[in-house]
């Protein structure tokens, strides 16, 4: 008679799926995440996949992985190291072994550890048989063989059966962490509604993996994570790119405007276009342009015509958009440019994350041409940043750059749906013809914004273009004093945005030896590190910046209260350079990482302890 297995409660667990890009690791991770969301845990994910569309099977460059941390409390990172690694082949084990905790569980697809697979992954001997994994718990499971056995009566080809092994592994994980199968079974049924043979096979593989884990003597314990105590409300799983898309739709609704999103496909920004293309019922217009220049040109044209013009790209595309972005600066039209940053330079590593475009967003145009720059901190925060970017753009008649990151774009977390009626309206007033001659560059005394005139409105005829503008009339002007005045007005207009955004806020002591400053996606790792340091009795202050240009108006005063300012960045010191220039008296210290990977909390903790 089988012995009943133990059930153990844990506060948080980190799981990593890894295999070839064709092994369905992202799909398995997504389904595990969806089920985790349904079961009420807080979670954070990190999909990590190769740049090649399909690298040679079994090779190190072709490894794709998906990491999720789920918890009974609020978390902001996918975890540093995983508690369990599912390795579908030798290459997946080799690439991901450094990302597993000591004594962590490694579930290896023993079927793939043959001579050919080991050679492709540069293993001199079989790591499942020697002492390579002596510091870990190893569970050798012939996943491929077990999947074939489970599906022997299903009318599928051999290659089709092999593709089902990700669901066998997923079933094992569902048992190990006491997850319910219902959501994934329903998803499979809907996904393969027109191909029931595939639906039946994948469901059979899922249940076979679950039952295998249940009877396997090497898995004596099930682990449980209780529901997280989240704020009351309706939640959904959301990625950063999904949140940006929904935020733009919401902003258009709040402004009572048509949204035109113009984009050329580029990793990792393309899915924003995909998401918005689904929203035609909300009056959203999308345009897939033939290149980056055409995309921003169309977005500027939309803004000129009175719509909300938005374009999206990544770092290389922002380079190409720079001249037209300068046109939006000169014409003072509202424009939002989303830059989902990826590792560079040049084509770089398209599927890896970085923060290397901050200085490009700030200064990557000829002449003095300031734009507003915002950066989201988490996937769900992308919604709020998108709404805020539209608000600033139309209120101040200025281009706004949103600096997202590949990590935020693809990562997912729970998002509490906002009450749309509670969001402030975005007020837009277009001028109408009066008795006096219309002046396109007369300015609002508070914001310095010029009027947003709709083309074709009688009496509002005016000149617009990229040549230097005369004050008030907008006529072409080569007058030296006028040129300086207009440049200073545009700079002052951006600077005045600081009066219309929240002051910088701190977490921790208001003064002391050290403050850690984050921007963008570094927020999560730094927040987690600070929490862990506090539990160890180390009091450290954390200050996060969502507004990069202009900075919050009280930033310099806050930084001046600390002996040292630590600035971790996924670049070689962009924010560090800006803060040193703006506040030369502070002792700013950079912490730079350009490996295509986000920070781990342990890296931040180690650096903080070094400085203290």
In this prediction, residue 606 carries a pLDDT of: 97
Say what the alpha-carbon torsion angle 204, 209, 213, 216 is, to the nearest 10 degrees: 90
**What CATH number did the domain enclosing 291 receive?**
3.40.50.970
Q: Side by side, which strands form the sheet with 137-141?
A: 42-48, 63-71, 12-20, 82-87, 100-109, 137-141
Task: Tell me the pLDDT tens digit for each residue of 102-121.
Answer: 999 999 999 999 999 999 99
pLDDT (average), residues 421-442:
93
CA dist 119 and 126 (Å) reads 10
pTM beyond cutoff 0.85:
yes
Which DSSP helix (H) or strand (E) runs through 390?
helix 381-396
Read off the pLDDT band of 56 (50, 70, 90).
confident
Q: Flag whether pLDDT at 4 surpasses 80.
A: no
Same domain as 240, residue 219 = no
Read off the pLDDT band of 5 (50, 70, 90).
confident
The proportion of the chain whose per-residue pLDDT surpasses 70, expressed as a percent, equals 100
Q: Which among 171, 202, 224 is the end of a domain? A: 224
Task: Tell me the pLDDT tens digit for each residue of 393-409.
Answer: 999 999 999 999 999 99
Same domain as 312, residue 271 = yes
| 3-class state of residue 61 by DSSP | helix
In this prediction, residue 463 carries a pLDDT of: 87
- Report the range of poorest mean pLDDT among 4-8, 166-170, 226-230, 561-565: 4-8
pLDDT (average), residues 139-161:
95
Task: Tell me the pLDDT tens digit for each residue of 318-367.
Answer: 999 999 999 999 999 999 999 999 999 999 999 999 999 999 999 999 99
Task: Tell me the pLDDT tens digit for each residue of 27-49.
Answer: 999 999 999 999 999 999 999 98
Asked whether residue 473 is domain-assigned, the answer is: no
Asked whether residue 461 is domain-assigned, the answer is: no
Task: Tell me the pLDDT tens digit for each residue of 246-291.
Answer: 999 999 999 999 999 999 999 999 999 999 999 999 999 999 999 9
The mean pLDDT of the chain is 96
Tokens representing 176? Answer: 């190990």
Cβ atoms of 137 and 84 within 8 Å: the answer is no
Same domain as 279, residue 404 = yes
Cβ atoms of 220 and 6 within 8 Å: the answer is yes
Asked whether residue 479 is domain-assigned, the answer is: no
Same domain as 198, residue 62 = yes
The backbone region for 474, taken as left when phi is positive above 0, alpha when psi lies in -120 to 50, beta otherwise, is left
Alpha helices in 122-195 (DSSP H): 143-150, 158-162, 165-176, 182-191
Same domain as 71, residue 18 = yes
Q: Which among 163, 192, 224 is the end of a domain? A: 224
Asked whether residue 457 is domain-assigned, the answer is: no
Asked whether residue 381 is domain-assigned, the answer is: yes
Q: Flag whether pLDDT at 1 surpasses 60.
A: no
In this prediction, residue 2 carries a pLDDT of: 54
CA dist 450 and 442 (Å) reads 6
In this prediction, residue 3 carries a pLDDT of: 59
Same domain as 269, residue 372 = yes
Same domain as 220, residue 240 = no
Same domain as 169, residue 244 = no
In this prediction, residue 96 carries a pLDDT of: 97
Same domain as 257, residue 307 = yes
Q: Flag whether pLDDT at 21 surpasses 90.
A: no
| 3-class state of residue 610 by DSSP | helix
CA dist 60 and 415 (Å) reads 35
Asked whether residue 582 is domain-assigned, the answer is: yes
Same domain as 306, residue 172 = no
Q: Flag whether pLDDT at 73 surpasses 90.
A: yes
**What CATH number did the domain enclosing 523 receive?**
3.40.50.920
pLDDT (average), residues 531-549:
96
**What CATH number did the domain enclosing 120 receive?**
3.40.920.10
Same domain as 373, residue 306 = yes
Q: Which among 397, 422, 447 is the end of a domain? A: 422
Asked whether residue 449 is domain-assigned, the answer is: no
Domain that residue 78 falls in: 6-224
Same domain as 148, residue 17 = yes
Q: Flag whether pLDDT at 218 surpasses 90.
A: no
Asked whether residue 352 is domain-assigned, the answer is: yes
Domain tally, the chain? 3
Number of H helices, E strands in the chain: 20, 23
């Amino acid at each position: 008679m089988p012995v009943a297995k133990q059930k153990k409660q844990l506060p948080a667990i980190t799981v990593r799926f890894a295999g070839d890009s064709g092994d369905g690791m992202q799909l398995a991770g997504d389904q595990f995440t969806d089920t985790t969301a349904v079961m009420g845990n807080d979670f954070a994910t990190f999909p990590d996949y190769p740049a090649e569309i399909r690298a040679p099977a079994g090779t190190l460059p072709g490894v794709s992985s998906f990491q999720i941390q789920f918890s009974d409390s609020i978390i902001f990172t996918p975890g540093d190291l995983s508690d369990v690694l599912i390795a579908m082949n030798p290459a997946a084990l080799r690439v991901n072994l450094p990302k597993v905790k000591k004594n962590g569980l490694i579930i290896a697809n023993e079927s793939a550890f043959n001579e050919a697979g080991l050679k492709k992954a540069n293993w001199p001997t079989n790591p499942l048989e020697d002492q390579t994994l002596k510091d870990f718990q190893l569970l050798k499971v012939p996943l491929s063989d077990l999947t074939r056995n489970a599906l022997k009566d299903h009318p599928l080809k051999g290659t089709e059966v092999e593709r089902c092994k990700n669901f066998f592994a997923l079933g094992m994980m569902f048992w190990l962490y006491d997850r319910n199968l219902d959501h994934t079974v329903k998803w499979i049924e809907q996904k393969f509604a027109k191909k029931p043979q595939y639906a039946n096979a994948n469901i059979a593989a899922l249940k076979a993996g679950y039952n295998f884990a249940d009877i396997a003597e090497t898995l004596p314990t099930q682990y449980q994570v209780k529901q997280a105590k989240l704020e009351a409300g309706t939640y959904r799983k959301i990625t950063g790119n999904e949140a940006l898309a929904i935020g733009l739709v919401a902003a258009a609704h709040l402004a009572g405007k048509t949204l035109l999103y113009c984009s050329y496909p580029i990793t990792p920004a393309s899915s924003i276009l995909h998401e918005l293309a689904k929203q035609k019922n909300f009056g959203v217009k999308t345009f897939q342009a033939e290149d980056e220049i055409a995309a921003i040109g169309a977005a500027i044209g939309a803004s000129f015509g009175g719509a909300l013009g938005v374009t999206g790209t990544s770092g290389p595309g922002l380079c190409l958009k720079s001249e037209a972005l300068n046109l939006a600066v000169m014409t003072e039209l509202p424009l939002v440019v989303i830059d989902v940053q990826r590792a560079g330079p040049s084509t770089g590593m398209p599927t890896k994350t970085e923060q290397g475009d901050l200085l490009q967003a700030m200064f990557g145009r000829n002449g003095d041409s300031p734009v507003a720059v915002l950066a989201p901190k988490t996937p769900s925060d992308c919604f709020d940043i998108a709404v805020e970017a539209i608000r600033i753009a139309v209120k101040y008649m200025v281009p706004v750059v949103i600096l997202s990151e590949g990590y935020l774009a693809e990562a997912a977390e729970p998002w509490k749906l906002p009450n749309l009626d509670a969001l402030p309206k975005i007020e837009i007033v277009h001028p109408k013809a009066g008795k006096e001659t219309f002046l396109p560059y007369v300015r609002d005394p508070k914001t310095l914004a010029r009027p947003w005139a709709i083309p074709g409105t009688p009496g509002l005829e005016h000149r617009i273009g990229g040549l230097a503008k005369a004050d008030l009339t907008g006529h072409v002007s080569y007058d030296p004093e006028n040129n300086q005045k207009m440049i200073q007005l545009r700079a002052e207009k951006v600077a005045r945005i600081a009066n219309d955004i929240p002051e910088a806020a701190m977490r921790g002591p208001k003064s002391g030896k050290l403050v850690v400053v984050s921007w963008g996606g570094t927020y999560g790792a730094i927040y987690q590190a600070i929490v862990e340091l506090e539990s160890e009795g180390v009091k450290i202050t954390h200050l996060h910046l969502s507004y990069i240009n202009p900075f919050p108006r009280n930033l310099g005063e806050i930084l001046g209260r600390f002996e040292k300012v630590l600035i971790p960045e996924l670049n070689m010191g962009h924010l560090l350079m800006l803060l040193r220039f703006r506040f030369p008296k502070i002792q700013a210290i950079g912490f730079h990482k350009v490996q295509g990977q986000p920070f781990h909390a342990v890296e931040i903790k180690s650096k903080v302890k070094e400085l203290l």
